[in-house]
Structure 1
């Protein structure tokens, strides 16, 4: 069995997975991460040091390790990576072009005692201009590059390694058969070929992964000549759903759960009530998108728990939100955005990533900003703003099924040297624009990933740590700055290691495969820039 070394020279650390609640249900424990050191530089100084560079910048207290890159072998029969002549065979068996970490799941302990993790990664995009020489599209290859990836990790001799050809390792793409269940299946069909444009995902407390499809329309058009009936307009309603996957079973089909509604998603997070019911929070991928909640009718461990329940939309009321139940009908589920608008849902400024505290005491929502907003409200406080902010929602008594939550803005983003209305806690040593992904560490710190869609001319995208409690709540520090053109695709936690996805480096608005803005991580003239899973190791 071939293995790629991931983390060298580490002492054995207790494993953790993305959802601490999932840890308890799976019998996995995690030690709290060390406290983040106090900022060494004031915010004003940080404003001058976040210009994008050809290389990345690692924050104080971490070492950066390259783990997996576009083109690395995933399956044992994978050919050598040849970016100048990509084939469908390469795309189906290698790590793909784009990546957003959906979650880490700990499999049951093995008899050999080796700690293991299964990483689930969403692969949203494969733009022809960055993937193919001359920008000449090859749709059948592009369709294989998008979808999802399951990656095996294990910890041996003091270091993490990936396992080429690991038991669970596989690709899910346009050619993968998916099951469709729930109220809409009787109308649109019980099966469909393909998972298209998943933008986000999460690990669940019951040990599965959720993959949230985005806007599939561009992919359906792009793949119209490839097959699978994508040129048939009747295919469209079979995409735009949340797919549930048992990532530990290499033979499991993705199951699209129609009770959660059909719309392009930017973020998703799962938790469970005290009586064991599944609760899913989801954000719409739009400049003025809605926040949705699904409460399952049965226990989360029920194999069909996500096939029946109540879908609701958030309405901003005063300084909090109220939840409005949507009709449990096929038209309302298929047209969830229209149903939300008709019910009186409130738009948020480009809502994205969602993170839920272990005890359900707080829910954090990233908002990327909306320059078209003309009327502010308590949870979208700025007009004409494209920098974004972060909202903290507080369910009463940790009851995530309550009809109303308190809410407040805990960070208003932007470069403090040039942007009016920014708001960072005193002592912060970093600033950010367009927060997109949120993940809570076992210590309770909120990890914020940013995404400026490749346009990093106003400052590098990166990872930032915001304290959520203790003596310095909302204090922000910089953990990592990505190279020019790159965005961050979420994180996951494994002991001293923070796994993170660095998306599409070099993909600035005017860049191409032949002329990228950087060739990170290799910086070699004969290699394209590569989306990379990195490990930030605490030192």
Structure 2
């Protein structure tokens, strides 16, 4: 029988969601230890039953699957170190599962749960580190020297804690692609020797400013090994930092709510912060979600500050000592200029990135795009907070095809006009049948219907609010409050949201919520069926008539994460004796076969975080297999699955309580005696064939 590993860390290191206290401190400002920002009394999902039978017919037509609980055990395998290009070793299970041949794209040996200080990959695969924190990518940037970093040197080097990843073609350059990466946040105690959290120096703060933001770097494939390596000083390479100039665009741009003493126009802002996940657009740009921006701003006292999680005192990094814009008492509107979806043109290093106010201001985990049948953009985004909401933006202007200058200029306006919606879900089971244990209701499934509630619409002539008591500008700047007012459904940390390019179904990763049903917090409901939910789940949406611009949808729980032997878990009906254990789904992506790939953050089952593939269709639907695990203290981010390559961002390796530069708790990626460095890793098959076939 498969046995899970003991829970990692000491009791003092056990934070909600499985993260270390160091991660909570630097990544999200100890959000889990603060009062839940959403104190609204929104409707419980199971309370709205009227008309459920009519909705049930629509859901059946949308082929929402039945949840069936089964018990069993899973078998998994593999383990290797990963600094240079190397092939994995050892395997204890075949490419075929116990229940027949695995789904196409998932025919690899599942990786065993483990705590190795390495990137562990399946037998028959190889890997290499593509690029590390601090590697020079711009002309004139010096070689990485952790003992002598400056803001100027870091601004020309690859940033810290990379998250979202995109690979785009480089026209006319064979075997080269353009890598776009987010640099979410910094771990100062792992970056600077002798760091004093109470008294950071100006140089340390300037390095941190430059280590945040976005990175664009050309990478090249080695035709002999399959490895990817960075091409330094390429003309397309670029760094965007916390001090780069941005434009605020869309309906809130120029609002009094966005004006500061430095920018009386309310249209120009310096920097982007805490960029988590993102997406690519059909017109060749990339989107980046500003997530836990609240932790960078000191002395927040207003109701709106509290709703967004701003603290009332000093910040962890003390940036307010070196720039007054990070002090709400001195610049009350500066924090209103963060929390947006950023759009970047990676093919133009001289372009000014834009913050798209029409998509609302929340803690955006990311933003993913698909087109309506008539060519208008639809953007899905989640607000990564306990009991917060997920959103959809439907543009009103059609994308122009082609690469002409006129087409590109037009397409760069697509996300400024349209309607912003928030999701409201209704379960089809009586509330009394949802007891918080994960036990299925009488109809044998967690499912229901939903609607997209309009919040505001922006046009070329102006914007109109659909929320009583709020102006359009207020909706776009205080989007969380707008969601509260219209009764949006409180979810268990809605993070990445991705539409499946094969089926059109939309998948929502709900990472966890250990506050669900605790104290006065909202209890379990049909869309979030477990109290003290530490493992998370994945929601599957079917838009009505499979139209991206529909305002109605059916929903069901596709996956309820945890130990497969736990009767509260569910894997889309696939036998649970043949799946990998999974905890805390975070980012998601799709492979060329339509399989969903899931990266985890803060896994609660004793193993390190990892990357998993799961079939979404056919007789193998729900078959989930672990593809890799990451080193000690690390999180798996930015999964990208191509025909012959998988990329992951290994974020915050060694980020464990008590770790410092002097006392490293990981030696990844370069071994003992070297500073721990976040990095991007590529994985491919040793025989050069497609992944998982």
Q: TM-score, normalised by structure 2?
A: 0.68
Q: Partner of 1:224: helix, strand, or coil? A: helix
Alignment check: 8 A CA contact 1:511 1:517 kept:
yes
| Residues 350, 61 of structure 1: alpha-carbon distance in 2 compared, 3 angstrom cutoff | farther
Structure with the higher strand share, 1 or 2: 1
1:220-254 Cα deviation digits (max 9, x unpaired): 44432444844422311111111111111111111
Contact 2:106/2:614 (<8 A) preserved: no
Q: Secondary structure at the match of 2:161?
A: coil
Secondary structure in 2 matching 1:143: helix
The separation in 2 between residues aligned to 1:359 and 1:468, in whole angstroms, is 10
What's the counterpart of residue 115 of structure 2? 52
Secondary structure of 2:488's counterpart equals: coil
Post-superposition shift, 1:420?
5.2
2:245 to 177, 183, 196: 177
Residue 127 of structure 1: how far off its partner (Å): 2.1
Is 1:408 the counterpart of 2:556? The answer is yes
CA–CA distance in 2 between the matches of 1:171 and 1:141? 13
SS of the residue 2:683 aligns to: strand
> In 2 relative to 1, CA 371–163 (structure 1 residues): closer, same or farther, beyond 3 Å?
same
Alpha-carbon distance in 2 for matches of 1:332, 1:34: 45
Q: Which structure 2 segments of 5+ residues have no match?
A: 1-82, 88-102, 259-265, 299-317, 401-409, 428-447, 457-464, 466-471, 518-522, 687-693
Query: Aligned partners of 2:142, 2:554: CA distance in 1, in Å?
Result: 53
Q: What corresponds to 2:320 in structure 1? A: 224
Contact 2:245/2:269, CA 8 A, preserved across alignment: yes
From 202, 218, 233, the equivalent of 1:152 is 218
Which SS does the other structure have where 2:627 is aligned?
A: strand
Superposition deviation, residue 320 in structure 1: 2.8
Aligned to 2:485: 342
The 2-side partners of 1:433 and 1:538 are apart by 26
Contact 2:647/2:683 (<8 A) preserved: yes
Label 1:35 to 1:493 Cα distance change in 2 as closer, same or farther (>3 A). Answer: closer
Q: How does 1:523-538 map to 2 (within 5 A)?
A: 523-525=671-673, 527-538=674-685
Match for residue 275 of structure 1?
Answer: 374
Correspondence for 1:363: 506
Per-residue CA distance 1:139-183 (angstroms, 9 max, x = gap): 111111111111112346454432101121111011100011111
Q: Tell me whether 1:165 sits opposite 2:261 in the alignment.
A: no
- Cα gap change, 1:353 to 1:130, in 2 (>3 Å): same
1:309 to 388, 397, 418: 418
Alignment of 1:211-250 (within 5 A): 211-221=288-298, 222-227=318-323, 229-231=325-327, 232-250=331-349
Which residue does 2:80 correspond to in 1? Answer: none
Which of 570, 583, 591 pairs up with 1:433?
Answer: 583
Distance 1:532 1:203 in 2: 21
Listed one character per residue, the Cα deviations across residues 329-376 of structure 1 (whole Å, up to 9, x for unaligned) are: 001111100100110100111111122111462111111111111222
Q: 2:356 aligns with which of 227, 233, 257?
A: 257
Structure 1 unaligned spans of 5+: 10-32, 41-45
Aligned to 2:619, what secondary structure does the other structure show?
coil
Inter-partner Cα distance in structure 1 for 2:281 and 2:661: 37
Matched, 1:294 2:393: yes
CA distance in 2, matches of 1:86, 1:34: 46
Aligned to 1:142: 208
Give TM-score, length-normalised by structure 1: 0.87
Q: Report how far residue 429 of structure 1 moved.
A: 4.0
Instruction: Confirm whether residue 352 of structure 1 aligns to residue 495 of structure 2.
Output: yes
CA distance in structure 2 between the partners assigned to 1:292 and 1:463 by the alignment: 25
In structure 2, C-alpha distance between the alignment counterparts of 1:229 and 1:383, rounded to whole Å: 40
Aligned CA distance change for structure 1 residues 228 and 257 (closer, same or farther; 3 Å): farther
The number of residues matched between the two structures is: 498
Contact 1:78/1:90 (8 A) holds in 2: yes
**Which one has the largest radius of gyration?**
2
What residue is the counterpart of 2:454 in the other structure?
325
2:146 equivalent to 1:88: no
Taking a change above 3 Å as real, the CA distance of residues 229 and 38 of structure 1, as seen in their structure-2 partners, is: closer
Q: Does the aligned pair in 2 maintain the 1:65–1:537 contact within 8 Å?
A: no
**Distance in 2 between residues matched to 1:104 and 1:274, nearest whole Å:** 26
Asked whether the 8 Å contact 2:293–2:339 carries over to 1, the reply is yes
Residues in 2 aligned to 1:320 and 1:289: alpha-carbon distance in whole angstroms: 18
Query: Is the 1:258–1:307 contact (alpha carbons within 8 Å) kept by the matching residues of 2?
Result: yes
| Alpha-carbon RMSD | 2.3
- Residue by residue over 1:372-412, the C-alpha shift from the partner in whole angstroms, topping out at 9 and shown as x without a partner, is 11222222121111111111111133211111111111111
SS at match of 1:171: strand
Find 2:647's aligned residue among 493, 499, 502. 499
* Native 8 Å contact 1:7 1:161 kept in 2: no
Alpha-carbon shift at residue 494 of structure 1 (Å): 3.9
**In 2: Cα distance, 1:268 partner to 1:205 partner:** 13
8 Å Cα contact 2:584/2:604 also seen in 1: no
1:161-219 superposed Cα distances (whole Å, 9 cap, x missing partner): 32101121111011100011111112121111111111221111111111111232322
Q: Which residue of 2 aligns with 1:203?
A: 280
Classify the secondary structure of the residue corresponding to 1:516: coil
- 1:508 matched to 2:637? The reply is no
Contact 1:97–1:131 (CA under 8 A) maintained in structure 2:
no
